[in-house]
Amino acid sequence: MRRMIVTALVPVLVLGGVGALELTTAPAAVAVDGQLRVWEVPKQLSPSDSGAYVEEMLTLEDGSTVLVWQQLQGGASSALMASVRPGGSEVWGAPQVIAHVASAHSPQPAVTEASDGSVTVAWEDLGGSYAVHASTLAAGTSTWSTPVKLGPVRFEVGEIRLASGPDGRIVAVWTSQEYQSRDVYFAERDPADGAWSPPTRFGSGTRGVNKSDPGVEIAEDGAVSIVWQESNGSAIELQESSRAAGDEQWTDPRTLSSPGKRAFKPQLTVAPDGTFALAWWEQGPDTDAALLFARRSAGSTEWGTPETAASGRAYVAQMSRPLFGPQGEMTVVWVDGDPSASQGLRAATRSSSGAWGTTTVANGPLSLDSDAVIGADGTVQVGWGQGVGDDRAFTTAARVNGVWSAPKTLAANPGGPAEGVVTVAADGEATAVWKDGGLWTSTTDLVTPAPSRDYVGKDKIADLYTVKTTGELGIYGGTATGRVSSPAKWVAWPTTSTLVPFGDVNGDGCNDTLVRNSAGELHSYRAVCGSVVEPNSPSARIGSGWNVYNAFTSPGDLDKDGTTDLLARETSTGRLWFYGGDGKGAFKPRTLIGAGWGPYTVTGTGDLNGDGIGDLVARDSDGVLWNYPGNGNGAFGSRVRVGSGWGVYKNIVGVGDLTGDGRQDLVASDTQGLLWRYDGVGDGTFKTRVQIGSSGWQHLNLS
């Protein structure tokens, strides 16, 4: 079972799909199997009047997705609803009533898929019966079974968790309050006849003992483990009981946490190889809290020595289960920090070699709940409600190839809690559903990585940036013949702005533009794909203090980390600095490439010699052009002389592949107003120049 975010949903799902609304913020992208995926423009599934709460979402083995929500019906009653979206479809099926609940409180449902493809939902009813109920949707059907009550309990129930076994068996655990104690209960559904066993209690109702935060998992061999947090007034411990494959007896509960420390927020999961993994937080009387992690190998009854994954605040609002990746890596995501003070969405990842690393995915303010899942390729998707002024907006981030992306807002109209749920299919397609006035959804889709220097037309042909002395930007579109066509429009920019053609900053498959303004602030501007960037295009501030530089250029990927990088020359010293892209829309701390670059005209060219690393060409004061091949470490190897006589040119730019032969080219404008193309050979040299423009180019600045 995966604990999901609770969020407001609206009364009725719109059937048959709806038209997409315009996204006001840049979509987020993730990579799957080496291909780029981008969040599509969100679609509104229901009207804005709120009357329901999203509870769970689960993608099944066949690719279909089940969404479960609570629908308020007025007074102290509600209905538990579900809808199924078939695999490969964008249309949700008709809403189905699973059950009517005699309470307006959240039924806190849990959802799991059995090995036969059926889906089971279990929930609590606090409207007088204080009972746990369950219903099943058989594979290939559209009607949920009549709910069954999982045995009598005396008082309040909650914290339901479900797990499915390889033989079709389903295990349910929950907690129930009895006078001055709270215990964990267990029941299982027989795969043969679908009947649920009477509940079994872990504990004896000892006064003052309270169990909470249960978790349950079933390994591929049928072994079962149940964990919970137990407080007895003087201690808070992490307890576990297990049952071996083929056995009916549970082991006596044992304490897994450290003596003398408080344990809380246990999260249990099982890896495909049958290894049980457990994460929890501990805190001593005078120490910070520590995130601990332990494993129990398949077939074993003994847990390994706990590892310290991270240290942090004692206040942990919610934590994900350990998320196992295909290479043996494991990630845990949590929200920490007092909402009235500093907050953070944190992540800790254990590499396949056992090394831990921590990351702050997002800073507060943010909602106390988050939802995290992992895809078959190891991409981790997280969703949460991020503070935007006094409002909240549903936001996502992804860990792709070991790097966390920048937070990306999917909500178009921030407001209210803006919480939601995420899920991911076996093919890597992710789905998000969230509250944003009404119910909204988005899925990720494959996009083609942006070709170098393609800014207008989306034709995969490199384009040429030009700026008039009046500040107007015009982009000359590349043609299939290695020439350029006149701009479709000129866009006015302040003459104090410096525009730098750049790569795809936000991963939407379109190249972006860096802009330094008169205050020295650097921003990334993200125009609509295929159009000219404008001052009112979506943008994000990168930082201040960039007015110390007098030249900017992008060499491409200079450090082989898959992101576009930036070079900047310092005005007062002539030093050249390297800013590596961080994969989050900004840059890593700068590193010095070298001094003495003041007399040079520098231009990034992309990969000139076919080694997959970005390169640079630079013209010295004598008019000699030099090729500086990238070394893959954010710097350059020994320079190679290209030729002399380049002093006749006003501008020299690396234009990308203008001829369509897969090699990077140069374009240069001379003082007489002519435009020339130098075709890249692929070994760092160029062919004889070809004239592609006849007049007026001396009045434009090329970049």
Which token pair is 570? 């310092």
Mean pLDDT comparison of 124-133, 321-330, 430-439, 625-634, highest-scoring range: 625-634
Co-location of 477 and 562 in the same domain? yes
Largest CA distance in the chain: 94
Confidence of residue 88 (pLDDT cuts 50, 70, 90): confident
Are 677 and 686 in contact by the 8 Å Cβ rule? The answer is: no
**Contact indicator for 378, 329 with CB cutoff of 8 Å:** yes
Residues 414, 543, single domain; the answer is no
Q: Could you give the CA distance from residue 332 to residue 664 in angstroms, rounded to a whole number?
A: 42
What integer is the mean pLDDT of 619-644?
96
Shared domain check, 360 and 334 = yes
701 pLDDT more than 90: yes
Residue 30 inside a domain? The answer is no
Q: Which CATH number covers residue 697?
A: 2.120.10
d(CA 434, CA 512): 28
Which has more confidence, 76 or 614? 614
Predicted confidence at residue 2, as pLDDT, reads: 33
Total domains, the chain:
3
Q: What is the domain range of residue 533?
A: 464-702
Higher pLDDT pick, 153 / 496? 496
Mean pLDDT of 109-123: 95
- pLDDT by residue (tens digit) across 281-292? 998 877 678 899
Contact status, residue 46 vs residue 11, Cβ threshold 8 Å: yes
What is the distance between the alpha carbons of residues 514 and 506, in angstroms, rounded to a whole number? 12
Verify that 648 and 529 share a domain, yes or no: yes
303 and 335 in one domain? no
Question: Over 50: is that where the pLDDT of 658 sits?
Answer: yes
Q: Which of 314, 343, 360 is the last residue of a domain?
A: 314
Least confident of 61-65, 118-122, 399-403, 607-611: 399-403
| Cα 515 to Cα 524: distance, rounded to the nearest angstrom | 6
Give residue 419's pLDDT: 78
**Residue 34: is its pLDDT beyond 50?**
no
Tens-place pLDDT, residues 441-490: 888 876 566 778 888 887 888 999 999 999 999 999 999 789 999 998 99
pLDDT of residue 31: 44
Q: Cα–Cα distance between 606 and 586 in angstroms, integer?
A: 19
- Provide the mean pLDDT of the chain: 86
The beta strand positions in 4-85, using DSSP E, are 7-9, 29-32, 35-39, 43-44, 52-59, 65-72, 78-85
Across residues 340-351, what is the average pLDDT? 84
Residues 6+ apart with CB under 8 A from 616: 553, 555, 567, 602, 603, 604, 605, 627, 628, 630, 636
pLDDT at 44 over 90: no
Same-domain status, 365 and 407: yes
The CATH number assigned to the domain holding 407 equals: 2.120.10.10
pLDDT score recorded for residue 244: 92
**Does a structural domain hold residue 515?**
yes
Euclidean distance between CA atoms 691 and 668, whole angstroms: 10
What is the structure's pLDDT at 690?
A: 96
In the block, tokens 């290894």 appear at 275
Distance CA 515, CA 542 (A): 10
Are residues 268 and 368 part of one domain? no
In a domain, 573, yes or no: yes
Name, in order, each residue with C-beta under 8 angstroms of 52's C-beta and a sequence gap of 6 or more: 8, 9, 10, 11, 69, 70, 71, 72, 81, 439
Q: Are residues 421 and 410 in contact, defined by beta-carbon separation less than 8 angstroms?
A: no
Cα–Cα distance for residue pair 284/70, rounded to 1 Å: 39
- pLDDT-derived band of residue 1, with 50, 70 and 90 as boundaries? very low
Tell me: do 436 and 289 sit in the same domain: no
Mean pLDDT computed over 305-318: 80
Which of 259, 286, 314 is at the close of a domain?
314
42-56, 76-90, 321-335, 377-391: range with lowest mean pLDDT:
42-56
Q: Are 269 and 241 in contact (CB under 8 A)?
A: no
pLDDT for the residue 148: 94
- Give residue 143's pLDDT band: very low, low, confident or very high (50, 70, 90): very high
Assigned domain for 158 exists: no
Would 32 be classed as within a structural domain?
A: no
* pLDDT of 641: 96
pLDDT digit string, tens, across residues 156-176: 788 999 999 999 999 999 998
Task: Tell me the per-residue pLDDT of 235-256, one tens digit each, with 9 for 90 and over.
Answer: 899 999 999 988 888 999 999 9
The pLDDT of residue 369: 80
- pLDDT value for 83: 93
CA 518 to chain centre: 33
The proportion of the chain whose per-residue pLDDT surpasses 90, expressed as a percent, equals 55
pLDDT at 12 over 50: no
Task: Assess if residue 75 is contained within a domain.
Answer: no
Check residue 457 and report its DSSP letter. T
pLDDT at 378: 86
C-alpha–C-alpha distance, residues 64 and 58, integer Å: 9
What length does the chain have? 703
* Lowest model confidence (mean pLDDT) among 17-21, 60-64, 110-114, 555-559: 17-21
End position of a domain, from candidates 265, 289, 314 = 314
Tell me, yes or no, whether 337 and 283 share the same domain.
Answer: no
Report pLDDT for 307: 94
Average confidence (pLDDT) over 100-124: 91
**Same domain membership, residue 654 and residue 524:** yes
Predicted local distance difference test score (pLDDT) of residue 32: 42
Distance (Å, rounded) from C-alpha 681 to C-alpha 314? 60
Q: What is this structure's pTM?
A: 0.67
Residues 543 and 646 in one domain: yes
Please indicate, yes or no, if residue 170 is contained in any of the structural domains: no
Residues 648 and 503 in one domain: yes
- Residue range 483-512: average pLDDT? 89
Residue 200 lies in a domain: no
